[in-house]
């Protein structure tokens, strides 16, 4: 993907995040970009191809930013709190219909994205658990694979439950409770004391 195409994809990505996928037409995209539909179709064969490109771009941008900043954390607790803040930041400005539209109208792309996200979350969670155990901040007796899979399971099953509304699932309060439910379950006594002592400086407000 050349730089011009990447620039187009980033602008369309913002449209999708703001208005959802279904409601944004190729006419809307062409108008927003200040180009004709004919020119737009020189970049993308159809809307499905455009959606796929946007998802690929979004995934790559997140991965690049994640790799660049993850290592700045001093320890596993600060690292996992940074991941939490990173996740919340990515939720800002996201139209609630984005996820629904992707799953309903582009199931293959949704499945592809889910598999990528699952792999990345598993890798990051496992690495963080191992780091925390080595530092003494996490319980040494926990099964790393089981805990990581349980964490992914909770995230993946949220869209399919009717116990919470879509608005609740995307709220900061909900995500905060789910995150700290995981964190407090893996902390050792040393980790708990460290968190309580430093939480005002490192927790997302």
The tens digit of pLDDT for each residue in 143-160 reads 999 999 999 999 888 878
Give SS3 for 138.
strand
Instruction: Give 187's strand partners.
Output: 138
Residue-wise pLDDT tens digits, 36-61:
999 999 999 999 999 999 999 888 88
What integer is the mean pLDDT of 117-137? 95
Residue 7: C-alpha distances to residues 3, 143, 150 (Å):
6, 44, 37
How many Cβ atoms are within 10 Å of 44's Cβ, its own excluded? 20
Rounded to 5 degrees, what are φ and ψ at 167? -60, -40
d(CA 133, CA 122): 16
Residue 106 has pLDDT above 90, yes or no: yes
Q: CATH 1.10.357.10 residue ranges in the chain?
A: 1-70
**Directed axis angle between helix 76-91 and helix 189-202, to 10°?**
50
Domain covering 1-70: architecture: Orthogonal Bundle (1.10)
- For residue 138, the cross-strand partners are 187
Q: Are 11 and 63 in contact (CB under 8 A)?
A: no
CA 106 to chain centre: 18
Instruction: Give pLDDT, residue 202.
Output: 62
* Nearest-angstrom CA–CA distance, 78 and 202: 7
pLDDT digits (tens, 9 = 90+) for 70-90: 677 789 999 999 888 888 887
Domain 74-205 fold = Tetracycline Repressor; domain 2 (1.10.357)
């Amino acid at each position: 993907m050349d730089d011009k195409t990447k620039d187009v994809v980033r602008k369309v990505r913002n449209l999708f995040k703001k208005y959802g996928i279904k409601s944004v037409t190729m006419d809307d995209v062409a108008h927003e970009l200040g180009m004709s539909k004919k020119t737009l179709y020189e970049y993308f064969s159809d809307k499905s191809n455009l959606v796929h490109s946007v998802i690929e771009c979004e995934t790559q941008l997140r991965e690049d930013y994640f790799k660049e900043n993850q290592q700045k954390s001093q320890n596993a607790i600060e690292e996992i709190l940074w991941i939490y803040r990173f996740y919340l930041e990515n939720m800002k400005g996201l139209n609630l219909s984005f996820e629904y539209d992707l799953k309903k109208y582009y199931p293959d792309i949704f499945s592809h994205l889910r598999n990528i996200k699952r792999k990345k979350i598993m890798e990051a969670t496992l690495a963080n658990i191992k780091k925390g155990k080595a530092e003494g901040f996490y319980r040494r007796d926990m099964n790393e694979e089981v805990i990581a899979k349980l964490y992914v399971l909770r995230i993946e099953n949220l869209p399919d439950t009717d116990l919470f509304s879509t608005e609740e699932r995307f709220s900061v309060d909900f995500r905060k409770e789910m995150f700290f439910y995981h964190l407090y379950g893996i902390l050792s006594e040393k980790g708990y004391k460290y968190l309580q002592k430093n939480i005002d400086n490192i927790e997302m407000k």
